[in-house]
């Protein structure tokens, strides 16, 4: 097998460069995939491209993402078509009468919906978008607040899909016995410095204590100067009420927890509650209900295309040995004191490069854990660094699933969201890196 070494970075760098130049996400990702395939086997690019696409489509995680996001889109579309989302906005707006309150309310709602980052990004953005528009909060700012209370919160609160996944990895890698993975995961929560920093920072930004900076400042100024009036909803004749919104959303959270933090089963159960409910209320006709559900599913295809091609890039990067190269490159810095910060920065880069907040750690855990044991590193601190890296990559990568969905729900493009959010992600990453250095030295 060819060792590509430093050259394994070329596809990811191609994607980043083209995205900066073109502000186009899917096209840049496809270019990166093709460059990677040319490196692997230039004579069979077309064949390898088709095989990679089919393999990616058959991936269990990809199929799960398509179904979960599509069905969430269906639920949101039904609530919008029935007028339930509009009613919720009108009721909630009575308690939110300033721009600052609208942003803080968005952040609080994001913390409250901690079960899953997909559920968080789509539910919070769809709930708060019209309210924040009313006070001229830019769609980029809304996306930043939503994204910063998605993966970070799902990591910090151990009743989430993230906690379930990483607890299983902890058991699989011998760090805990059967049924004890969650306790070990909880021991690492105080050391998840990036999620803590990102969450605190977003509240400081929403509260006006930390100002909008860089591209975000320009986006906010553009929103403030806009002469367009925020869209309004005519609720005359709408049969839906506040419960038409609260019950479906509440049932989604309840059933996700009920089915052992399985959001796929949760969304199916929520739809089985919502569809009869809106039909019985005559908030929407039977035909319109199912038309809305189909339209909602289809509306998720553009962001899902980005996620799909991102997974294709991950497969190409895996064949090029990107993960192993990065780990080998940082080996000389693996001292007990520097181990946590090196793991955080290297794994954060890998998660960013591959857009895989979970998949890269299936490979990394069996490598990092024995190394940590061999040098007698603080294991909860090391776990905190790996989990922080997962949150950083999800947060900063412009083609990660969380970034794409936050942008979709908030009304901006993934590139606009990524560029405006990136400075804040780097601030939080810098704070976390310093914290890991200090904690490693203690």
Question: Alpha-carbon distance 17 to 12, whole Å?
Answer: 9
- Please enumerate in sequence order all residues whose Cβ is within 8 A of that of 164, keeping only pairs 6 or more positions apart, or say none: 260, 261
Question: Alpha-carbon distance 168 to 180, whole Å?
Answer: 9
Q: Is residue 63 part of a domain?
A: yes
Q: What is the pLDDT of residue 228?
A: 60
Q: Is residue 296 part of a domain?
A: yes
Q: Is the Cβ–Cβ distance between 279 and 123 less than 8 Å?
A: no
Question: Alpha-carbon distance 71 to 434, whole Å?
Answer: 41
Q: Is residue 255 part of a domain?
A: yes
How many independent structural domains does the chain possess? 1
Q: Where are the alpha helices (DSSP H) in 207-300?
A: 214-225, 242-258, 263-280, 286-299
What's the start-to-end Cα distance of the chain, in Å? 42
Q: Is residue 232 part of a domain?
A: no
The pair of three-digit structure tokens given for residue 22, joined into one six-digit string:
């073109």
Q: Is residue 231 part of a domain?
A: no
Sign of CA dihedral 135, 139, 142, 144: negative
Q: What is the pLDDT of residue 220?
A: 93
Cβ neighbours, 10 Å, residue 87: 23
Q: What is the pLDDT of residue 384?
A: 93
- Report the candidate in 300, 308, 311 with the shortest Cα–Cα distance to residue 355: 311
Q: Is residue 230 part of a domain?
A: no
Helix/strand/coil for 130 = helix
Q: What is the mean pLDDT of each run of 10 residues along the chain (442 residues)?
A: 80 85 83 93 93 89 83 86 76 81 89 77 81 89 91 84 82 80 89 95 94 93 75 59 85 85 87 92 87 88 81 86 79 79 88 75 78 84 92 83 84 89 94 94 84
Q: Is the Cβ–Cβ distance between 220 and 421 less than 8 Å?
A: no
Give the angle 112-117-120 at the CA atoms, nearest 5°.
45
Task: Catalogue the E-assigned strands of 345-385.
Answer: none
Q: Is the Cβ–Cβ distance between 437 and 338 less than 8 Å?
A: yes
CA-to-CA separations, 146 to 33, 107, 114, 391, 418, in angstroms, rounded? 29, 7, 12, 14, 13
Q: What is the pLDDT of residue 244?
A: 85
CA-to-CA separations, 299 to 73, 274, 311, in angstroms, rounded? 7, 19, 20
Q: What is the pLDDT of residue 230?
A: 57
The pair of three-digit structure tokens given for residue 24, joined into one six-digit string:
């186009």
- Report the candidate in 192, 162, 168 with the shortest Cα–Cα distance to residue 344: 192
The residue count of the chain comes to 442
Q: Is residue 228 part of a domain?
A: no
Range of the domain at 123: 1-223+239-442
Q: What is the pLDDT of residue 229?
A: 59
Residue 5, sorted as left (phi over 0), alpha (psi -120 to 50) or beta, turns out to be left
Sign of CA dihedral 300, 305, 306, 307: positive
Q: Is residue 325 part of a domain?
A: yes
């Amino acid at each position: 097998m060819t060792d590509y070494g430093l050259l394994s970075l070329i596809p990811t760098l191609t994607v980043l460069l083209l995205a900066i130049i073109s502000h186009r996400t899917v096209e840049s990702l496809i270019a990166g995939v093709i460059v990677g395939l040319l490196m692997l086997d230039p004579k069979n690019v077309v064949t390898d491209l088709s095989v990679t696409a089919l393999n990616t489509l058959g991936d269990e995680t990809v199929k799960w993402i398509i179904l979960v996001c599509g069905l969430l889109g269906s639920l949101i579309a039904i609530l919008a078509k029935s007028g339930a989302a509009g009613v919720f906005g009108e009721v909630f707006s009575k308690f939110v009468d300033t721009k600052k309150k609208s942003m803080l309310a968005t952040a609080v709602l994001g913390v409250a919906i901690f079960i899953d980052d997909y559920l968080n990004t789509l539910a919070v953005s769809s709930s708060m978008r019209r309210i924040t528009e009313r006070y001229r909060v830019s769609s980029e700012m809304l996306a930043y607040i939503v994204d910063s209370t998605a993966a970070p919160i799902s990591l910090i609160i151990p009743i989430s899909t993230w906690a379930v996944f990483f607890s299983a990895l902890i058991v699989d890698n011998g760090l805990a016995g059967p049924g004890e993975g969650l306790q070990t995961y909880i021991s690492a929560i105080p050391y998840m410095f990036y999620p803590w920093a990102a969450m605190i920072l977003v509240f400081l930004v929403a509260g006006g204590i930390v100002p909008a900076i860089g591209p975000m400042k320009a986006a906010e100024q553009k929103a403030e100067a806009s002469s367009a009036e925020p869209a309004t909803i005519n609720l005359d004749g709408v049969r839906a009420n506040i419960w038409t919104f609260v019950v479906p959303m509440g049932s989604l959270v309840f059933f996700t927890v009920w089915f052992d933090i399985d959001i796929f089963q949760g969304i199916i159960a929520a739809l089985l509650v919502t569809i009869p409910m809106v039909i019985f209320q005559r908030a929407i006709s039977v035909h319109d209900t199912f038309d809305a559900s189909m339209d909602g599913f289809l509306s998720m295809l553009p962001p899902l295309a980005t996620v799909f091609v991102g997974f294709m890039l991950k497969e190409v990067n895996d064949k090029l040995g990107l993960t192993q190269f990065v780990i080998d490159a940082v080996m000389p810095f693996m001292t007990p004191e520097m181990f946590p910060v090196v793991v955080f920065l290297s794994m954060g880069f890998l998660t960013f490069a591959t857009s895989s907040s979970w998949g890269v750690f299936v490979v990394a855990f069996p490598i990092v854990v024995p190394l940590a044991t061999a040098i007698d590193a603080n294991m909860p601190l090391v776990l905190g660094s790996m989990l922080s890296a997962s949150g950083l990559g999800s947060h900063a990568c412009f083609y990660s699933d969380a970034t794409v969905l936050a942008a979709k729900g908030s009304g901006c493009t993934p590139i606009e969201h990524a560029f405006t959010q990136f400075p804040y992600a780097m601030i939080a990453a810098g704070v976390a890196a310093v914290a890991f250095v200090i904690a490693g030295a203690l």
